[in-house]
Structure 1
Amino acid sequence: MLVVKKALNNNVLIAEHPSYDEVVLIGKGLGFGKRPGDEVAGESAEKFFVLKDAKEQEQYKQLLDYVDESFIGFMNDAIERIEERFQVRLHEHIHVALTDHLFYAIKRINQGFDIKNPFLTETELAYPKEFDVATEIIQALEAAFHISIPPGEIGFVALHIHSALTRRSLEEVNQHTRLISELVYVIETSLELTIDRQHVDYLRLVRHLHHAIERIQKGEYNDNQERLKKILKEEYPVCYNLSYKLIKIMQQSLKKAIPDAEAVYLTLHLQRLAKE
């Protein structure tokens, strides 16, 4: 038996838990008539999750003031689907962030606003597993609430999922996506070409850039490519010089030193694109 701290609505309440301090319990009629201090059987809840942070708790309570209970139920099912797919307990913030994001996305769509996502392709290439689950969630949302949602929204949901999986802020995840888009623009401008977003070499480039950013952030660069660097500098001077231009942009954005070895990998990717 758990002790009720607050009933948020008829189906959602906050209770004291011996292991997690406070938990959010969800179940049909679970919160009806419940007052602080009442006992509730934990197993009677269909779902429960932990909101450890006081700020997160307050934001979730505020969400329930304007979000319909059926939508809250859908979102909890969606988050459970993500956790089952990745076999992980997601960061608690997703209960607030993704619910809030999709609620307002639907509101904007109903008001006639168009949702555009300039980083949709880059997001799909960088986070294919998250993108697949996001696609399923959007399709389920369309069926449940009889609404047509623009494809760009899949990318935004995928970023929320990746943020929760990696426990990195959404702002940081978005920064990396924008950085890659900027790097691609510089490549196209410098080499005077338009990259086919469906081409395998573009896929390789974007995935490499994402992996490079993660390695740089974690300080996992130990590569020594001095011999290959000299060869590439002589063989492909245009692509080699462009690789250093890209590295400077990355350094300014990430505020991290980037080893010279990255110039080797970038030069090889750039040469493949230039050749095409």
Structure 2
Amino acid sequence: MNKKNYKILKILNNNIILAYDLKNKKETILMGKGLGFNKKENSKEYIPNKNIQRSFIANDERIKNEYFRLVKQIDPKIIEICEKIIQISEQKLGDLNSHIHIILVDHIAFAIERVKTGLEITNPFIDEIKILYPDEFDIAAEGIEMIKKNLDLDLGLGEVGFISMHLHSSRKNIKVKETVKNTRILNEIINIIEEGLNIKLDKTQYSYKRLINHLQSTLSRIKNKKCIKNPLLDNIKKEFKDSYVIIEKIKAKIEKEYELEVPEQELGYMAIHIERLKN
């Protein structure tokens, strides 16, 4: 007879249970087709690994209780799709913060309800998101296709962007509002550049992707106080005076948003990129 490896603590539905791992001595949420069927709470059971499609350790009591609430309220198909998206993400991107199991389910369930009622929310940062988080974007697009195939509902391209930001935030272990803020600020910096140069940048061009990546790296260095020296700074200030007018506006924007001083060295590098756009 097989040795018991789990104690069943709570049956959430036929496919999801909360169990105590007798070997690792940890509470774990297990998912698999029919895992909860014919099981009894507080019983010790042998569950073969081949029957467990997904699992995550329920360390945080608040996360665990919130997940229970969602499982009871939300269509199991939605939970299954979300877990598949998380599984693909962890295979391609590495471990995600365990809170993603709640955040993604909650977000996608709300998005589905919103679309069903005819309320469409646009994503103004979709071009920037696609450039900044390409791996997350591809996975999110795959998730949207799963929803379309299994639920006969198209959440649209904008939702690909929103899911991408959730995956990125979980990957980097930061709050999604920080990811949204960073993306918004990049978008507004682009607007400052376009207004200053009186042009409209072509977001399909490689030059736009290069600019976004440069600005993202610049913001990251500023926030982490790891700026690099610019030996050409004096010459840049003399040669690119017009670009510096735009740079001063960008500097003011960054300092206001992040409450950090922007080093002059970084301003020089930004001026080079803006000058390149002029030409």
- TM-score w.r.t. the length of structure 1 is 0.92
The one of 99, 108, 116 aligned to 2:122:
116
Q: Could you list the per-position Cα deviations for residues 193-246 of structure 1 after superposition, in whole angstroms to 9, with x for gaps in the alignment?
A: 22222222221111111122222233322x221x41111111110112322321
Equivalent runs, 1:168-183 vs 2, <5 Å: 168-183=174-189
Q: What number of residue pairs does the alignment pair up? A: 272
Per the TM alignment, residue 33 of structure 1 is displaced from its structure 2 partner at its CA by 4.4
Q: Which residue of structure 1 aligns with residue 256 of structure 2?
A: 252
The one of 265, 268, 271 aligned to 2:269:
265
Structure 2 SS opposite 1:4: strand
Q: Which residue of structure 2 aligns with residue 141 of structure 1?
A: 147
**Alignment CA distance shift 1:257-1:22 (3 Å):** farther
What is the RMSD computed on CA atoms of the aligned residues?
Answer: 1.7
Equivalent runs, 1:91-110 vs 2, <5 Å: 91-110=97-116
Tell me if 1:81 matches 2:88. yes
**Alignment CA distance shift 1:114-1:161 (3 Å):** same
Tell me if 1:49 matches 2:56. yes
Give the letter aligned to residue 5 of structure 1: L
Per the TM alignment, residue 9 of structure 1 is displaced from its structure 2 partner at its CA by 1.5
Confirm or deny: 8 A CA contact 1:201 1:272 kept in the other structure: no
Confirm or deny: 8 A CA contact 2:28 2:57 kept in the other structure: yes
Tell me if 1:238 matches 2:237. no
Partners of 2:220 and 2:8 in 1: CA distance: 42
Q: Which residue of structure 2 aligns with residue 59 of structure 1?
A: 66
Q: Which residue of structure 1 aligns with residue 158 of structure 2?
A: 152
Give the letter aligned to residue 206 of structure 1: I
Q: Which residue of structure 1 aligns with residue 30 of structure 2?
A: 25
Partners of 2:272 and 2:24 in 1: CA distance: 52
Structure 2, unaligned runs of 5 or more? none
Per the TM alignment, residue 20 of structure 1 is displaced from its structure 2 partner at its CA by 6.5
Confirm or deny: 8 A CA contact 2:85 2:139 kept in the other structure: no
Q: Which residue of structure 2 aligns with residue 34 of structure 1?
A: 39
Q: Which residue of structure 2 aligns with residue 130 of structure 1?
A: 136
Structure 1 SS opposite 2:8: strand
Tell me if 1:167 matches 2:173. yes
Tell me if 1:216 matches 2:216. no
Partners of 1:99 and 1:93 in 2: CA distance: 10
Partners of 1:133 and 1:45 in 2: CA distance: 23
Partners of 1:195 and 1:96 in 2: CA distance: 38
Confirm or deny: 8 A CA contact 1:10 1:29 kept in the other structure: yes
- TM-score w.r.t. the length of structure 2 is 0.91
The one of 5, 11, 16 aligned to 1:7:
11
Structure 1, unaligned runs of 5 or more? none
Per the TM alignment, residue 172 of structure 1 is displaced from its structure 2 partner at its CA by 0.5
Structure 1 SS opposite 2:62: helix
Partners of 1:60 and 1:218 in 2: CA distance: 34
Partners of 2:18 and 2:260 in 1: CA distance: 42
Partners of 1:15 and 1:132 in 2: CA distance: 33
Per the TM alignment, residue 72 of structure 1 is displaced from its structure 2 partner at its CA by 1.3
